[in-house]
Amino acid sequence: MNWHFLGGTSEVTGSKHILETQQARILFDCGLFQGRRKQADEINHTLDFTVESIDAMVLSHAHIDHCGNIPTLAKRGYRNPVHATSATADLLPVMLRDSAHIHESDAAYLNQKTNRKGLPPIIPLYTLEDAEASFPLLRVHQYNEPIELPGGIRLTHVDAGHILGAALALIEVPREGRAPLRIGYAVDLGRHNLPLLEDPVQMTDLDVLICESTYGGREHGDALDAEAALGDAINRTIARGGKVLLPTFALERAQEIIYHISSLRAKNVIPDVPVFMDSPMAQALSTIFEKNHTYFDAEYKALHKQVGSVITPPWLTFTATVDESKSITSSKEPSIVLAASGMAEHGRILHHLKHGIEDEKNLVLFVGYQAANTLGRRLINGESPVRIFGDMFDVGAEIGVINAFSAHAGRSELRDYIQKARPKQVFLVHGEQEQREALAKLVQDELRIPVALPNNGDVVDFDALD
Ligand SMILES: [Zn+2]
């Protein structure tokens, strides 16, 4: 019984694993590797297996670093099932169509240059057609529903508490003359007290736990403090007559921020100023969140009962066209503007920053992780002036950061989860090396559980572990 670690081991993108028994090969996640173009192209084109050898696929959630290379499977002829929760299956078409659009337009842009030089055209990793060919493969399940996979393998999805529909996988593999081997796949693992979401479900009595380690060496603020910090930031900006410009990811974080604003308005903590969601993708995803409201926690249900919709409330303006978007940038009225992308690298947020970043009354508020070399990271580091659309702008606006929104378990949350899972062996993946090593030390020294840090390409026989 072999586990193949194919991607997303000492990095946080490109998650890809295969469980192989004598009878079956099951693929867990098929994520997009994100990084510098040349390296990303090479990695994403290489699947490290033939699609004919895969009997079924299991998808943990709709983040692009876990699902973003499914269209490549379809393009190469994969036609077996892809098992996911119903919410993940609803989110997937929006995420993959957007990803296909990015790949197609990137290739078209590059081909302007290659055409001029007479070079062969660049083929996009996949197209909209490839993405759409993968949708009929989805098989939809609920949490806690046992799923029979080929080879007698039994799979149960439980709530990961990470984003809407995200699942941890409990995998039970039959063994001759012995109890089934219990494998826990916790990639990605969420946190307690996140808005909208139920807390992660604890898997127990595992033989093997494959666990993410994004924040293996770090803590982030308590999720319960995020709303108060958001309220303070909004109040001080509105009080000085400014706008809150909020770069955000379209999936999950955008809906969480609107939920918090709903809650702050219901408690009269913040004034009723105009709120704009300037992202057609976030609008499409928000509609899917409303449809899947049964996934959400008791706090959501209580607030919904009190004030009605808290994800697409009537006071929230979605801007569809570029003209509508421009009319927000020209208005001087205090307001809250959410727009993608979350790291302010591209997307409509750049227009809002171009028009608003010099104004001392405004606040640019970051509510997500900012990778190195992004405009978001430069602003947080206090750089000024900064380049936006080729022009330099002095940073007059206040730059704010709230870290407590993270959707990943922090160091002590990871330790607690691993401790309660009581695995015989832990494999740490989905973390930069220094984060994995920091968590490995904690697991080894404090919990006294054997821990391994596999690399991409490693194959481990789980049967031989005990
Ligand atoms: Zn994720």
Instruction: Among 379, 405, 431, give the residue marking a domain's end.
Output: 405
Beta bridge partners of 173: 181
94 lies in the same domain as 41: yes
Q: How confident is the model at residue 102 (pLDDT cuts 50, 70, 90)?
A: very high
78 lies in the same domain as 163: yes
Cα separation, 253 vs 341, whole angstroms: 11
CA of 62 to the centre of ligand 1 (A): 7
| pLDDT at site 117 | 85
To the nearest whole number, what is the mean pLDDT of the chain? 95
CA of 430 to the centre of ligand 1 (A): 10
Specify whether the CB–CB gap between 435 and 218 falls below 8 A: yes
337 lies in the same domain as 380: yes
Say whether 323 sits in a helix, a strand or coil.
Answer: helix
250 lies in the same domain as 149: no
Tokens of 451: 């821990």
CA of 251 to the centre of ligand 1 (A): 10
CA of 213 to the centre of ligand 1 (A): 12
CA of 151 to the centre of ligand 1 (A): 28
| pLDDT at site 221 | 85
Instruction: Among 405, 438, 454, give the residue marking a domain's end.
Output: 405
For the stretch 271-275, contacts whose Cβ atoms lie closer than 8 Å and that sit 24 or more positions apart, written own/partner, are 271/235, 271/238, 272/315, 273/238, 273/333, 273/334, 273/335, 273/336, 274/315, 274/317, 274/333, 274/335, 274/336, 275/315, 275/316, 275/317, 275/335, 275/336, 275/337, 275/338
380 lies in the same domain as 432: no
The average pLDDT across 48-58 equals 97
Q: Is the pLDDT of residue 93 over 90?
A: yes
CA of 89 to the centre of ligand 1 (A): 15
The average pLDDT across 186-205 equals 97
47 lies in the same domain as 78: yes
CA of 12 to the centre of ligand 1 (A): 9
CA of 61 to the centre of ligand 1 (A): 7
281 lies in the same domain as 293: yes
Say whether 452 sits in a helix, a strand or coil.
Answer: strand
The average pLDDT across 310-319 equals 97
Tokens of 299: 């706090």
Instruction: Among 360, 380, 405, give the residue marking a domain's end.
Output: 405
Residue 28 vs residue 118, higher pLDDT: 28
139 lies in the same domain as 59: yes
CATH code of the domain containing 257: 3.40.50.10890
CA of 187 to the centre of ligand 1 (A): 7
Q: Is the pLDDT of residue 466 over 80?
A: no
CA of 368 to the centre of ligand 1 (A): 13
In the chain the first and final C-alpha atoms are separated, in Å, by 13
| pLDDT at site 38 | 86
Considering its fold, how many domains does the chain have in total? 2
The average pLDDT across 161-171 equals 98
182 lies in the same domain as 210: yes
CA of 341 to the centre of ligand 1 (A): 16
Q: Is the pLDDT of residue 4 over 90?
A: yes
Q: How confident is the model at residue 220 (pLDDT cuts 50, 70, 90)?
A: confident
CA of 272 to the centre of ligand 1 (A): 33
Q: How confident is the model at residue 417 (pLDDT cuts 50, 70, 90)?
A: very high
CA of 84 to the centre of ligand 1 (A): 14
Say whether 117 sits in a helix, a strand or coil.
Answer: helix
Q: Which residues are CB-neighbours of 437 under 8 A, at least 6 positions away? A: 216, 217, 453
| pLDDT at site 200 | 98
Tokens of 161: 């508490």
**DSSP class per residue in 218-275:** -----GGGHHHHHHHHHHHHHHTT--EEEE--TTTHHHHHHHHHHHHHHTTSS----E
Cα separation, 86 vs 88, whole angstroms: 6
CA of 210 to the centre of ligand 1 (A): 15
237 lies in the same domain as 324: yes
| pLDDT at site 400 | 97
Model confidence, pTM: 0.95
Interaxial angle between packed helices 433-442 and 411-421, expressed in degrees from 0 to 180 and rounded to the nearest 10: 50
Specify whether the CB–CB gap between 300 and 255 falls below 8 A: no
CA of 404 to the centre of ligand 1 (A): 16
Write out pLDDT tens, residues 254-312: 999 999 999 999 999 999 999 999 999 999 999 999 999 999 999 999 999 999 999 99
Q: Is the pLDDT of residue 462 over 80?
A: yes
386 lies in the same domain as 416: no
Tokens of 261: 């604003």
CA of 247 to the centre of ligand 1 (A): 18
| pLDDT at site 96 | 98
CA of 434 to the centre of ligand 1 (A): 20
Cα separation, 398 vs 418, whole angstroms: 40
CA of 130 to the centre of ligand 1 (A): 23
Q: Is the pLDDT of residue 61 over 90?
A: yes
| pLDDT at site 346 | 86
CA of 11 to the centre of ligand 1 (A): 13
Q: Which residues are CB-neighbours of 140 under 8 A, at least 6 positions away? A: 84, 85, 86, 89
| pLDDT at site 5 | 98
The average pLDDT across 27-40 equals 91
**Which of 110-114, 138-142, 203-207, 397-401 is the least confident region?**
110-114
CA of 52 to the centre of ligand 1 (A): 27
197 lies in the same domain as 282: no
CA of 242 to the centre of ligand 1 (A): 33
User: Over pLDDT 70: what percentage of the chain?
Assistant: 100
CATH code of the domain containing 124: 3.60.15.10
Specify whether the CB–CB gap between 290 and 311 falls below 8 A: yes
Q: Domain of 228?
A: 223-405
CA of 329 to the centre of ligand 1 (A): 32
Cα separation, 352 vs 273, whole angstroms: 17
CA of 116 to the centre of ligand 1 (A): 40
CA of 85 to the centre of ligand 1 (A): 14
Specify whether the CB–CB gap between 334 and 243 falls below 8 A: yes
CA of 145 to the centre of ligand 1 (A): 22
Write the DSSP symbol of residue 199.
P
Tokens of 91: 């989110």
Q: How confident is the model at residue 465 (pLDDT cuts 50, 70, 90)?
A: confident
| pLDDT at site 35 | 81
Q: How confident is the model at residue 185 (pLDDT cuts 50, 70, 90)?
A: very high
Cα separation, 405 vs 276, whole angstroms: 20
Q: In what order do the strands lie in the sheet with 336-339?
A: 316-318, 275-277, 336-339, 244-247, 363-366, 398-401
CA of 427 to the centre of ligand 1 (A): 18
CA of 7 to the centre of ligand 1 (A): 14
